[in-house]
């Protein structure tokens, strides 16, 4: 590995670690505050750097393919979460860049599902498939469901889960989802480097971030529904 590739790897790691540290702040800061907006922007650009460096590294380190796909998943969540804020104004609609990103994410998800399916087939037939590669099925399915949802929503805005509130609740879902995916990738990759350890450690790394993060998202969604005095099926806009 040459010096330049090592440098890109260090940038990748530094950006990912910074995103994990800074990403907590927008979750607990007051929504719309300067602190929330500033740290959210830092998180966004850190994730952009993680994704770009992952694209570069995969050409020199094929074993980083998993990191590339997870970086794409995390950044798509982050990108689409930020773009959703445009829908706060009724006259704004998804643009070409939103559609390109969604279809690109769909393509990436199908590749991930293919890799996961191949690993499952190899394991089932006694081949040399890796249990770790089964994670492609989980992350690929997650990316597929969200990208497909966006494509459907672009063609028919009435399909939006939160109606006119999509910009608000969708933003929370995607940004926190990006953080969860990044944390899960960090945990799963680093537990692989540990010496012999119980399989429960790996299972915890794969599942705990998603379980805990999912519970937090549900609580936040419920909290803001109560705060704005909205029902789950309400189509009213969230007050600015």
Tell whether 68 is covered by a domain: yes
Report the pLDDT value the prediction gives residue 231, as an integer from 0 to 100: 54
Tell whether 16 is covered by a domain: yes
Q: Which domain holds residue 58?
A: 3-227
Tell whether 63 is covered by a domain: yes
Report the pLDDT value the prediction gives residue 63, as an integer from 0 to 100: 67
Tell whether 236 is covered by a domain: no
CA 234 to the chain's CA centroid:
26
Residue 114 in tokens: 């293919």
Kindly report the average pLDDT of the chain as a whole number.
86
Predicted TM-score of the model (pTM): 0.85
Report the pLDDT value the prediction gives residue 74, as an integer from 0 to 100: 93
Closest CA to 214 of 166, 177, 165: 177
Query: Is a pLDDT exceeding 90 seen at residue 87?
Result: no
Count CB neighbours of 108 within 10 A.
20
Query: Is a pLDDT exceeding 70 seen at residue 177?
Result: yes
| Cβ neighbours for 146, distance < 8 A, ≥ 6 positions apart | 76, 77, 80, 105, 174, 177
List pLDDT tens digits, range 209-226.
888 888 888 888 888 888
CA-to-CA distance for 210 and 31, rounded, in angstroms? Answer: 23
Report the pLDDT value the prediction gives residue 98, as an integer from 0 to 100: 94
Tell whether 11 is covered by a domain: yes
Residue 3 in tokens: 């010096």
List pLDDT tens digits, range 103-115.
999 999 999 999 9
- The count of structural domains within the chain is 1
Tell whether 139 is covered by a domain: yes
Tell whether 193 is covered by a domain: yes
Report the pLDDT value the prediction gives residue 113, as an integer from 0 to 100: 95
Mean pLDDT of 146-152: 95
Count CB neighbours of 229 within 10 A.
9
Closest CA to 56 of 11, 87, 104, 88: 11
Report the pLDDT value the prediction gives residue 187, as an integer from 0 to 100: 84
Mean pLDDT of 15-31: 92
Report the pLDDT value the prediction gives residue 230, as an integer from 0 to 100: 65
Tell whether 129 is covered by a domain: yes
Report the pLDDT value the prediction gives residue 5, as an integer from 0 to 100: 81
Highest mean pLDDT among 64-73, 136-145, 189-198: 136-145
């Amino acid at each position: 590995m040459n010096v330049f590739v090592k440098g890109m790897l260090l940038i990748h790691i530094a950006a990912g670690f910074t995103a994990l540290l800074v990403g907590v702040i927008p979750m607990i800061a007051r929504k719309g505050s300067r602190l929330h907006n500033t740290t959210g922007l830092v998180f966004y650009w850190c994730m952009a750097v993680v994704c770009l460096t992952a694209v570069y590294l995969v050409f020199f380190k094929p074993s980083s393919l998993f990191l590339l796909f997870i970086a794409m998943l995390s950044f798509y969540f982050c990108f689409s979460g930020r773009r959703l804020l445009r829908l706060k104004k009724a006259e704004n609609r998804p643009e070409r860049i939103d559609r390109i990103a969604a279809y690109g994410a769909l393509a990436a998800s199908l590749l991930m599902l293919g890799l996961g399916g191949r690993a499952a087939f190899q394991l089932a037939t006694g081949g040399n498939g890796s249990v770790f590669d089964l994670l492609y099925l989980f992350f690929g399915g997650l990316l597929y469901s969200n990208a497909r949802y966006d494509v459907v929503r672009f063609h028919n805005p009435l399909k939006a889960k939160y109606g006119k509130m999509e910009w608000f609740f969708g933003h929370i879902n995607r940004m926190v989802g990006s953080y969860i995916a990044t944390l899960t990738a960090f945990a799963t990759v680093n537990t692989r480097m540990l010496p012999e350890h119980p399989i429960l450690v790996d299972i915890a790394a794969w599942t705990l971030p998603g379980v805990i993060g999912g519970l937090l998202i549900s609580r936040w969604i419920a909290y803001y529904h109560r705060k704005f005095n909205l029902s789950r099926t309400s189509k009213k806009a969230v007050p600015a």
